[in-house]
Amino acid sequence: MNLKRLACVLAWFGGLTPWMADAQTDVHGANVARVAHVASTTNKAASADARRRATDTPFAFRGIALGLTLDEFRAGGTVRATPVGSVPVCETDVQAGALGMRLKSHDSLTVACRWAHRGDDGWAVSQAVVDGSPAQEHVLRFARVDGQSPLRLYEISFVVDEVTAEDLRDALADRYGVPRLVRQNVSSQTGMPMYVWENSVSSITLCFLPGTRNGTLTYLLKGSDAWVKSVVRQWQASGVEAG
């Protein structure tokens, strides 16, 4: 091979080198883009699946989910109250007592539970802990879908101070998104502001009370009002004391 031909060959290969490097860069870039697309698609699918599950799952207060049975609530041993050693104490709900159901019974068609502790003077109601602060009041309500079904948790409610309520509003917005704002008195800007988060099966409502500005926080299964009314009608129709 003469010098001219050798120079041509080297020049030809020299021209190929940057082209091959560009080709490798393009392949690498395509692979990176493909991986990124697959990851993005997977993440979007996972997010959509998480949103779907959240939509179909009842809200829960620190692990205590709406819809669980009274037996599950007791067996779970989950206590969100102070002082240490508090336990759930359950009895016939006041609204059931007004109908004639015997109080101080957990065998009623509707039952209310509160955390309590035993002191030197006997049993006393404990304070539920909400957002790290003791609540002023609390109650967990259970009802039967019919006379034979187990009691299920349909409502959890608390009364908290204004500072705790405002912190809860922000914490719930971070977790569940921007709430729906409702005013109890729509004709006045001084009406009670009420914030609502909801999915297909349950809701969380935070309402600021006038005057004190305390907040009521309520977890509620959708349709529970009709559910409880049905239970009441069943009891009234039976004509037999439930207790």
**Which residue segment(s) compose the domain that 44 sits in?**
1-56
The pLDDT score that the predictor gives to residue 92 is 77
Is the same domain home to 178 and 71?
yes
The pLDDT score that the predictor gives to residue 10 is 37
User: 156-200, pLDDT tens digit by residue?
Assistant: 999 999 999 999 999 999 999 999 998 755 445 556 889 999 999
Residues 26 and 3: their CA atoms lie apart, in Å, by: 35
Is the same domain home to 154 and 224?
yes
> Torsion angle, CA of 140/59/214/208, rounded to 10 degrees?
-130
Name the domain count of the chain: 2
pLDDT, average across residues 209-218: 91
User: 68-82, pLDDT tens digit by residue?
Assistant: 999 999 898 889 999
Q: What is the DSSP string of 151-206?
A: PEEEEEEEEE-HHHHHHHHHHHHHHH-SPEEEESSTT-TTSPEEEEEE-SSEEEEE
Pick the more confident residue, 203 or 227: 203
- Asked if 198 and 55 touch (Cβ cutoff 8 Å), the reply is no
Q: What is the pTM of this model?
A: 0.71
Is the same domain home to 105 and 152?
yes
DSSP state of 58: -
User: 2-15, pLDDT tens digit by residue?
Assistant: 544 444 433 444 55
Structure tokens at 11: 């020049």
- Asked if 220 and 203 touch (Cβ cutoff 8 Å), the reply is yes
- Asked if 78 and 63 touch (Cβ cutoff 8 Å), the reply is yes
Residues 66 and 46: their CA atoms lie apart, in Å, by: 24
State the average pLDDT for the chain. Answer: 77
The pLDDT score that the predictor gives to residue 120 is 86
Is the same domain home to 102 and 217?
yes
- Give me the phi and psi of 44, to 5 degrees please: -65, -40
Pick the more confident residue, 52 or 74: 74
Is the same domain home to 75 and 191?
yes
Pick the more confident residue, 232 or 54: 232
Query: Both ends of the chain: CA-CA distance in Å?
Result: 110
Is the same domain home to 222 and 117?
yes
User: 126-161, pLDDT tens digit by residue?
Assistant: 999 999 999 999 999 998 876 678 899 999 999 999
Is the same domain home to 27 and 64?
no
Q: What is the DSSP string of 74-123?
A: HHHT---EESTT-EEEEEE-HHHHTTTPPSS-S-SSEEEEEEEEEETTEE
The pLDDT score that the predictor gives to residue 108 is 74
**What is the distance of C-alpha 172 from the center of its chain?**
9
- Asked if 101 and 242 touch (Cβ cutoff 8 Å), the reply is yes
Residues 112 and 92: their CA atoms lie apart, in Å, by: 6
The pLDDT score that the predictor gives to residue 130 is 97
